[in-house]
Amino acid sequence: MTAVAIVFWLSAGLIVYTHLGYPLVLWALTKLKRTTVKDQPRAERRQPTVSVIVAAHNEESVMERRVQNLKELSYPHLEVIVASDGSTDTTAERARAAGADVVLDLPRGGKIRAQDAGVKSASGEVVAFSDANALWAPDAVEALVAAFEDPKVGYVCGQVRFIEPSGGGNQEGAYWRYEMLVRELESRLGGVTAGNGAIYATRREAYMVVDPRMGHDLSFPFNLVKRGWRALYEPRARAEERMVPTVEGEFRRKRRMMSHTWPIVLEGGMLSPRGYRPLYALEILSHRVLRYCTPFLHLIAFGTNIALLGHGWFYAVTLGFQIGLLAAALAGVKIARYYLLVTASPAAGLWDWLRHGTPAEWEQAEGTR
């Protein structure tokens, strides 16, 4: 086998592995664990005090609804904190009018610094976080808090369900269901490798102040695991958010996200194995590093496939498949177009970060309010 063929098979194999093989490996390991390991007993159930922090920048259109939704939850010991990050509209006033327990009117410093300020003002033993445009199910806090009965758990993310506007064409909902399945399998094994901004929580003592460019969704799970905590996914803790209407809008959203992701991967300690258990290291490699490298693996597979034409009929078939996927995306086939654009977003985000850096500030995704 030539070096070109080896590179082709390696790149193509890694693409298939990270999307299909890795979930199958997780499934097999969970089956093995279920037959060999018994669940550990949890501590006596108690209800700790909880502070929910909503960082917001110019969110007047959704702020009253967000605060009212939190105030109507069934949890008895809940403090609602709104951290307005340099808002130039009536976000802070609407939060106060809706009954928020604490409203911080802060200078613009970015979402992470607003969340840090919210934690400093919080009285809860558990600090939870939510996007301004999310809505939580009535029992969401109970579900989040239940996971902390295990004293080793430091981080818990819930399940966000994306509401699709009619006729938008974004396929994020279908992809997200796949992603949540993978996270649930990871949670049963080494722990989750990422969360979401709609619904998550940490113990107050486990909270970390991170680089404001990097965000909590990706920084918290692996960093807390390195510090000896467990990071879990709790699907019973449910939230809803409107998704970006179009796949092109989803590409722009993920591109912005990836410009914040690459500093975490390359500068934030994710690639350092120090503190990882072997299974969690496998999850980081498979679900994060290889997933983010997928656009480059596709380019390598495509280029080497062209070079291998004439060395067997199979290479003509694999090249035809790749060209067919591109043609379907260009022709407007929704799932193909979604895959193409979302797969390209890590490369676009890397370009943005290398060329312009990553600001701490953030803006609303279009069509999600």
| Full 3-state SS string of 292-349 | HCHHHHHHHHHHHHHHCCCCCHHHHHHHHHHHHHHHHHHCCCHHHHHHHHHHHHHHHH
pLDDT at 37: 43
Tell me whether residue 64 is in a domain.
yes
189 shares a domain with 83? no
Tell me whether residue 114 is in a domain.
no
Which of 92, 108, 124 delimits the end of a domain? 108
Q: Give the C-alpha separation, 60 to 119, whole Å.
A: 22
pLDDT tens track for 55-92: 999 999 999 999 999 999 989 889 999 999 999 999 99
Q: Give the C-alpha separation, 44 to 302, whole Å.
A: 56
**Mean predicted lDDT score pLDDT of the chain:** 91
| Full 3-state SS string of 292-306 | HCHHHHHHHHHHHHH
Residue 172 binned pLDDT confidence (cut-offs 50, 70, 90): low
197 shares a domain with 90? no
Residue 44 binned pLDDT confidence (cut-offs 50, 70, 90): low
214 shares a domain with 289? yes
Residue 19 binned pLDDT confidence (cut-offs 50, 70, 90): very high
Neighbour order of strands in the sheet with 200-203:
102-106, 78-85, 50-56, 126-130, 200-203, 153-163, 230-242, 135-136
Is residue 130 helix, strand or coil? Answer: strand
CB atoms within 10 A of CB 7: 16
Contact in structure between 183 and 156 (CB atoms under 8 Å): no
Which of 69, 93, 108 delimits the end of a domain? 108
Tell me whether residue 249 is in a domain.
yes
pLDDT at 33: 79
The enclosing H or E element of 159 equals strand 153-163
Q: Give the C-alpha separation, 307 to 261, whole Å.
A: 33
Question: Is residue 166 scored above 90 in pLDDT?
Answer: no
Predicted structure pTM score: 0.89
Which of 72, 90, 108 delimits the end of a domain? 108
Domain residues for 243? 1-40+134-369
265 shares a domain with 335? yes
Q: What percent of the chain has pLDDT over 70?
A: 93
pLDDT at 167: 54
pLDDT tens track for 259-283: 999 999 999 999 999 999 999 999 9
Tell me whether residue 124 is in a domain.
no
231 shares a domain with 314? yes
367 shares a domain with 240? yes
pLDDT tens track for 91-147: 999 999 999 999 999 999 999 999 999 999 999 999 999 999 999 999 999 999 999
The token pair at 10 is 């390696």
Tell me whether residue 265 is in a domain.
yes
188 shares a domain with 144? yes
298 shares a domain with 287? yes
Least confident of 13-22, 156-165, 262-271, 283-292: 156-165
Question: Is residue 6 scored above 70 in pLDDT?
Answer: yes
State how many domains the chain has: 2
339 shares a domain with 206? yes
pLDDT tens track for 195-248: 999 999 999 999 999 998 888 999 999 999 999 999 999 999 999 998 887 888
Tell me whether residue 264 is in a domain.
yes
142 shares a domain with 28? yes
More confident residue, 366 or 297: 297
227 shares a domain with 101? no
Tell me whether residue 129 is in a domain.
no
Buried b (16+ CB within 10 A) or exposed e, 113-133: bbbbbbbeebebbbbbbbbbb
Phi, psi for 135 (deg, rounded to 5): -130, 135
Tell me whether residue 125 is in a domain.
no
Interacting residues of 157 by C-beta distance below 8 A, sequence separation 6+: 183, 192, 195, 196, 199, 200, 221, 231, 232, 233, 234, 237
Question: Is residue 41 scored above 80 in pLDDT?
Answer: no
142 shares a domain with 195? yes
